[in-house]
Amino acid sequence: MTELLAKESVPGTMIKILSHPYLRTTALRCIASIFKNFFFFQSRVSFLPGLLPVSNVDHPLDRNIPFTPGKVRIYLDFVGFWIRSLGYLLKAYGRRALEPVRSFIESMGNLYAFAAEVYRKNLSTTERPFYIKRPHFLLIHILDPHLLCIPSLHVMVVARTYTFFRETVRLFGDEGRFASQINELYLGALAITEAILYIKQHSINCISAAMYAMTRFDPSLFPPDEAERFASALFSETEKPDKAQSSDIRKHIISLYHHFLSDGNTGEDWKEVLLRFLATQPRRSRAAAFTVKKNNEALRQ
């Protein structure tokens, strides 16, 4: 098979998964975890300002990444990105893919619960432009109050996708056969990670935190050398930020990632490292949190 994963049908894959008895229960649990730990949780805390501390996690180097609304489609593809990878595995391996696909879906639900361990203690946000000239941004502002930045679930999801797909085909002895698909997913994960920075959904600090979270979530698939490889490729072929700025951004992401790792080598709960970092960042006032609530209410009218 030489087809691109991008050609897989997201609705078709979802129907295939939900109609299969072996996958359906796990898929429904995954969906429940996503809604519980992201959408429902974030919606609740956005309407109750002051319930949890909110840290601003911007970094000065973020200013070197220009706000680029045209990247929004790439950003919004992060869900379709991982679903298409499952559709490809099911098409390539048939029944043999059922267990790895089920395992991947289960891990995705666990990933959301894992990140929520930090969110439930300390919310985090960045300076996001209020931009609604494109319909996609209107959807983002309505559905995402922008309070769950560290660790970035977007980065965690795409990192999980390309590494799990690569490991699955390796276990089937097909790493060479599907080399182009592995590379497609890797490049796609990089593009989505860059897109979340271009549209100002996250800070570069959030990337480091997400990579650290992935190393703690599954060190066998995302060890430090994989994290460095991933971060070292970000903005490697862009005009803006330029080469010097991109180099500074990559150095900071990798340096902060290693700081998190070294800080967490005490054997304590993984999330305490990120919570300590969030405690060092400026707190957003209760009034500012209420402003987000009012903006979201106005958008819904």
**Residue 20 CB coordination number (10 Å):** 16
* Cα separation, 197 vs 30, whole angstroms: 26
Per residue in 223-280, pLDDT (tens digit) is: 999 999 999 999 998 889 999 999 999 999 999 999 999 987 777 899 999 999 999 9
Cα 98 to chain centroid distance, Å, stands at 24
Entry field: residues in the chain: 301
* Cα separation, 96 vs 98, whole angstroms: 6
**pLDDT at position 43:** 85
Please answer whether residues 92 and 7 qualify as being in contact, where contact means their C-beta atoms are separated by less than 8 angstroms.
Answer: no
Q: Which residue has the higher pLDDT, 268 or 81?
A: 81
Round the average pLDDT of the chain to a whole number and report it. Answer: 91
**pLDDT at position 44:** 87
Which class for 178: exposed (0-12), middle (13-18), buried (19 or more C-beta within 10 A)? buried
Residue labelled with tokens 């190393």: 215
The mean pLDDT of 27-52, rounded to a whole number, is 90
Per residue in 180-212, pLDDT (tens digit) is: 999 999 999 999 999 999 999 999 999 999 999
Q: Which residue has the higher pLDDT, 264 or 20?
A: 20
Q: Sorting pLDDT into bands at 50, 70 and 90, what band is 2?
A: low
Please answer whether residues 27 and 18 qualify as being in contact, where contact means their C-beta atoms are separated by less than 8 angstroms.
Answer: yes
pLDDT-wise least confident of 102-111, 115-124, 139-148: 139-148
Q: What is the extent of the structural domain holding 71?
A: 5-300
In this predicted structure, the answer to whether residue 222 has a pLDDT above a threshold of 70 is: yes
Q: Which residue has the higher pLDDT, 131 or 172?
A: 172
In this predicted structure, the answer to whether residue 288 has a pLDDT above a threshold of 80 is: no
* Cα separation, 167 vs 174, whole angstroms: 10
- Among 296, 256, 293, 245, residue whose Cα is nearest residue 278: 256
Q: Sorting pLDDT into bands at 50, 70 and 90, what band is 294?
A: very low
Domain count for the chain, please give it.
1
- Among 270, 190, 194, 259, residue whose Cα is nearest residue 226: 190
Q: What percent of the chain has pLDDT over 90?
A: 79
Q: Sorting pLDDT into bands at 50, 70 and 90, what band is 48?
A: confident
* Backbone torsions φ then ψ of 240, nearest 5 degrees: -130, 120
295 three-state secondary structure = helix
